[in-house]
């Protein structure tokens, strides 16, 4: 078991709590709201249901969850250090869900 003075393992990918990452990426206004969605069983992590707000999320993971009336499908790009401005938060993920088709105008 590694203690505080142990050398970091290069094979272990860094992780961040799922609720904290969702909050930092500005999908939810608070960690409590993010945890509520996770605890309710409405979030999938890499295709598997996840009910633990403290579950670790790492770069490359795919999250699927409801946000308002949308279903979000995103890939984690970065873990982030803090909850920063929206422009910084958008760099933490890549949106994989297709955009809703805008109503097309009839051709004349």
Query: Has residue 79 been placed in a domain?
Result: yes
State pLDDT tens for residues 62-90.
Answer: 999 998 899 999 999 999 888 999 999 99
Report the number of distinct structural domains present in the chain: 1
pLDDT at 77: 97
This prediction has a pTM of 0.80
Asked whether residue 31 is domain-assigned, the answer is: yes
Q: What is the pLDDT of residues 38-65, one digit of tens each?
A: 999 999 999 999 999 999 999 999 999 9
52 domain residue, yes or no? yes
Contact 57, 21 (CB under 8 A): yes
Q: What is the CATH number of the domain that holds 75?
A: 3.10.290.10
Q: Share the mean pLDDT of the chain.
A: 87
The reply to whether 88 falls in a domain is yes
Which is nearest to 54 in space by CA: 44, 71, 39? 39
Range of the structural domain that residue 71 is part of: 16-95
* 1 domain residue, yes or no: no
Residue entry with tokens 């505080």: 4
Which of the two residues, 53 and 12, has the higher pLDDT score?
A: 53
Q: If we measure between CA atoms, which residue out of 90, 53, 64, 59 comes closest to residue 76?
A: 59
């Amino acid at each position: 078991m590694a203690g505080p003075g142990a050398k970091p393992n290069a094979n272990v990918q860094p992780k961040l709590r799922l609720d904290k990452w969702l909050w930092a990426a500005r999908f939810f206004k608070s960690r409590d709201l993010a945890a509520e969605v996770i605890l309710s069983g409405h979030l999938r992590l890499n295709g598997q249901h996840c009910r633990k707000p403290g579950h670790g999320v790492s770069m490359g993971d795919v999250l699927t969850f409801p946000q308002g009336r949308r279903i979000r499908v995103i890939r984690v790009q970065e873990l982030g250090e803090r909850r920063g401005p929206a422009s910084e938060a958008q760099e933490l993920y890549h949106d994989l869900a297709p955009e809703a088709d805008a109503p097309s105008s009839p051709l004349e």
